Amino acid sequence: MPRQARIDAPGALHHIICRGIERKPIFRTDADRDDFVIRLETILAATDTSCYAWALIPNHFHLLLQTGPTPISTVMRRLLTGYAVAFNLRHKRSGHLFQNRYKSIICQDELYLFELIRYIHLNPLRAGLVASLDDLALYPYCGHRQLLGLKNPGVLAVDEILGYFGKRERAARKKYLGFVADGVEQGQRPELSGGGLIRSLIGAGQKSVTAGDLPLSDARILGDGDFVAAVLAQADEQVTARESYRMAGFGLDQLAEVVATTLQVDVAEVFARGKQPQRVRARSLFCFWAVRELGCTATSLATRLGISQPAVSLSVQRGERLAAEQGYKLSELRKL
């Protein structure tokens, strides 16, 4: 049976789980863990991806990420590929390190953001890596410690997370800690591992679910029925649009022509380097549509434009703002 395509969109919240092949350790030493964290911090900053929770367990890890201008698949490919190569060199091994694809569950943030932060940060305690909640505060390979102010917040969006718990930092940390403490007795929480409405209903306290209660369910999505339907509809719309562009032979060269016509500049300005306003606008709109509409990667665009991947990510952000401000829609403009 073919595997389902990943679902992603700007602003989407993803609970990511990645395990070692044959459930073997992917973190053998603190050097491994430190390397992973440094790579994660660097890639999140370069791609403007937000992290709300993280925890490293010897044979797997959990991340709670929010997609920025760079697709989550690109973020994870850079993280996993780089780490696996370094791990194999350090331990003089070869072959695959991770088990199949990582698991990515798109989540309804207003329902599950806090629950997932707590669930992920309690993983080291549930796994027996620490003996108590007090010990968890000292565990360096989990975001819980960062939220308590005991570590430089280089990975987590600390201020944003604490802002949900209160306006004053000290009071917010105390409220957060109490919230986490309330979850210690909840156990494994299988309802937080995806499955759309099925696990949403169970998570709300319903002991069983009948077929009549299930208007829609998808293992890639964690949320209520309306959320699942909306995400699937958006994903299908994106795939359909990309397929139509591909079938019509509409690629980067054709996109550059549309951008040039829309902004009334020469096509060469789209591909030209420099900080002149007209070039920045053209490059930004081009990158935004190339990533969001055509499904191009930041890596391929960086190569084509002769700029860095972070520069592509910034261009996508600027292009998104420009398109929104001016009401530019590629589906309409390419027909002109």
pLDDT in tens, 288-300: 988 888 878 777 8
Q: Name the percent of the chain lying above pLDDT 70.
A: 76
Long-range contacts of residues 33-42, Cβ cutoff 8 Å, at least 24 apart: 33/140, 33/141, 35/83, 35/86, 35/87, 35/90, 36/61, 36/83, 37/141, 37/155, 39/79, 39/82, 39/83, 40/79, 40/155, 41/154, 41/155
Give the H or E element holding residue 123.
helix 123-126
212's tokens: 């009549």
The strand ranges marked E within the chain are: 13-19, 50-57, 60-66, 103-107, 221-222
Q: Are strands 13-19 and 50-57 parallel, antiparallel or unpaired?
A: unpaired
Instruction: Examine the pLDDT at 70 and tell me if it is beyond 90.
Output: no
Mean pLDDT of 291-315: 84
Select the more confidently predicted residue: 223 or 163. 163
163's tokens: 């802002």
Asked if CATH classification 1.10.1750.10 holds for the domain at 249-333, the reply, yes or no, is yes
Separation of alpha carbons 57 and 124, rounded Å:
7
Main-chain dihedrals φ then ψ at residue 16, nearest 5 degrees? -110, 130
Separation of alpha carbons 89 and 200, rounded Å:
42
Domain ranges of the chain: 13-193, 249-333
Q: What is the pLDDT of residue 200?
A: 42
pLDDT averaged over every residue in the chain = 81
Q: Name the percent of the chain lying above pLDDT 90.
A: 47
Position 106 confidence tier, pLDDT thresholds 50, 70, 90: confident
Separation of alpha carbons 222 and 225, rounded Å:
9
- Concatenating the DSSP letter of every residue in 45-62 gives HHHT-EEEEEEEETTEEE
Residue 304 has, within 13 A of its CA and on its CB side, a CA count of: 18
Position 238 confidence tier, pLDDT thresholds 50, 70, 90: low
Q: How buried is 238 (Cβ within 10 angstroms: 0-12 exposed, 13-18 middle, 19+ buried)?
A: middle
Instruction: Examine the pLDDT at 207 and tell me if it is beyond 70.
Output: no
13-193 and 249-333 in the same fold: no
Separation of alpha carbons 259 and 266, rounded Å:
9
DSSP state letter for 65: E
Separation of alpha carbons 176 and 155, rounded Å:
18
Cβ(97)–Cβ(84) below 8 Å: yes
CA neighbor of 97 nearest in space, from 85, 112, 109, 108: 85
Whole-structure pTM value: 0.64
Position 319 confidence tier, pLDDT thresholds 50, 70, 90: very high
Phi/psi-derived region of residue 38, left when phi > 0, alpha when psi is between -120 and 50, beta in every other case: alpha
Separation of alpha carbons 190 and 119, rounded Å:
10
Separation of alpha carbons 329 and 228, rounded Å:
26
Q: What is the pLDDT of residue 71?
A: 84
Determine the 3-state secondary structure of 116 from DSSP. Answer: helix
Asked if CATH classification 3.30.70.1290 holds for the domain at 13-193, the reply, yes or no, is yes
Separation of alpha carbons 145 and 155, rounded Å:
11
Which of 59-68, 176-185, 222-231, 251-260 has the weakest average pLDDT?
Answer: 222-231
Separation of alpha carbons 193 and 283, rounded Å:
39
Separation of alpha carbons 167 and 160, rounded Å:
10
